[in-house]
Copies of this chain bind each other. A is one copy, B any other.
Amino acid sequence: MGRNMRSPTLNDVARLAGVSYATADRVVNHRGNVADKSVRKVLTAVEQLGYVRNVAAANLSRSRTYRLAFLMPGGSNPFFERMHAHLEKAASHLKHSQVSINIVIVDAFAVEALEQAIEVVAGADYDGIAIVGLGNDRLVAPLNALRDRGTRIVSLVSDLPDSCREHYVGINNLKAGRSAARLMGMAHAGGPGRALVAVGSLDAPDHADRLQGFRTVLEEDFPEIEIASVIEMRDQSALMHRMMMEAWSTTEGVSAVYNVGAGNEGLIDALRIMDRPRRFCSIVHDLIPPTRRALEDGTLDAAIDQRPEIEINRALTLLRAIVDDLPPPPMPELIPAIFVRDNLPDETV
């Protein structure tokens, strides 16, 4: 523990290894054409000194810029709008750290569109990309091609096939669904109940996971709560409104509602009209302006949220780290956040 612990430089390594700077450089930068004996000497010296290359100096030297792209759904989805907004903010902040970020809009749920987008970015020589993924095998080939051209890949919100990305930035949707069920169970205080469940698409792995988690916990721990019906709609707010009203009028004794996917606006409007009993529990996903307002006025009891801003930040730190060939900084697991009326963030979300 010396006083002025200057970190060792590559020069120090070369000197200790008894080789020239050039040779040490050849080793650490994998330039090849080095005798095994020298490689060993250099690696030993690296180990011994605890040398890590000074990334700032390295990037300065090669005037490195981080060229990143984010492939994600756009348009009318308020969740992704929130994500975009934060990404823009982060991008303008990082502009002065030589990071440039392109946002590539992709149609939601559409494998072909995503496949196509991947091929487009493959031509643009990005250093790293973040993809809101789909668990479809058609993506494996183009993604591997991308990787072979030197582009690093992380998946965001929804995972890709394991082999295609270096990290997944998102929550465990099984846990999210389980948590919803737990809250709903708590809200029934041991009493019986009937729940209406709405889901965007059961093809989407995240929705399927949530529903499965939800089911499991109800069965295991709250058998007196029954799932009256699972309504599938492709995140359509208007459809949600209609079907919810219908289910409400045709189903007896509904005590709870859980929306696995999007389309919360329609659900909330329906809830406001419905003549709910005093003990009624409604749980949705994603904190967006309508759900926030509904939490505040008591129409909703809880919203499970992924904290998309945090996910964006993580994706960015991760991408920068892996582009630099550095181990990612220690970060605790992303947790499905449970929002109630009282722990909402101050900023208008």
Nearest chain-B residue to A308 (Cβ)?
B332
A340 lies within 8 A of B341 (CB): no
Residues 1-40 of A contacting B (Cβ, < 8 Å) = 5-7
Residue A229 at the chain B interface, CB threshold 8 Å = no
B178 lies within 8 A of A342 (CB): yes
Q: Interface readout for A55-70 with B: 1 if CB under 8 Å, 0 if not?
A: 1110110010000000
Nearest chain-B residue to A176 (Cβ)?
B343
**Number of residues of chain A lying within 8 A (CB) of chain B:** 63
Residues 162-185 of A contacting B (Cβ, < 8 Å) = 175-176, 178-179, 181-183
Which segment of A113-121, A139-147, A187-195 sits at the interface?
A187-195
Chain B residues, Cβ within 8 Å of A307:
332, 335
For the complex, give the distance between the alpha carbons of A306 and B19 in Å: 51
Chain B residues, Cβ within 8 Å of A123:
none
Partner of A333, one of B96, B179, B345: B345
Nearest chain-B residue to A4 (Cβ)?
B65
Residue A338 at the chain B interface, CB threshold 8 Å = yes
Which segment of A129-137, A246-254, A266-274, A323-331 sits at the interface?
A323-331
Partner of A340, one of B95, B96, B182: B182
B187 lies within 8 A of A86 (CB): no
Partner of A335, one of B327, B330, B343: B343
B336 lies within 8 A of A93 (CB): no
Residues 293-349 of A contacting B (Cβ, < 8 Å) = 301, 307, 309-310, 313, 327, 329-333, 335-347
Residue A54 at the chain B interface, CB threshold 8 Å = yes
A60 lies within 8 A of B56 (CB): yes
Residue A90 at the chain B interface, CB threshold 8 Å = yes
User: What is the CB-to-nearest-CB distance from A126 to chain B, in angstroms, rounded to a whole number?
Assistant: 15
Nearest chain-B residue to A189 (Cβ)?
B189
Chain B residues, Cβ within 8 Å of A313:
329, 331
B179 lies within 8 A of A342 (CB): yes
Residues 193-245 of A contacting B (Cβ, < 8 Å) = 213, 217
B89 lies within 8 A of A186 (CB): no
A interface residue numbers (CB < 8 A to B)? 5-7, 52, 54-57, 59-60, 63, 86, 89-90, 93-98, 100, 175-176, 178-179, 181-183, 186-191, 213, 217, 278-279, 281, 301, 307, 309-310, 313, 327, 329-333, 335-347
- Knowing that A86-B332, A179-B343, A338-B338 touch, tell me 4 more A-B residue pairs with CB under 8 angstroms: A7-B96, A7-B98, A52-B96, A186-B340
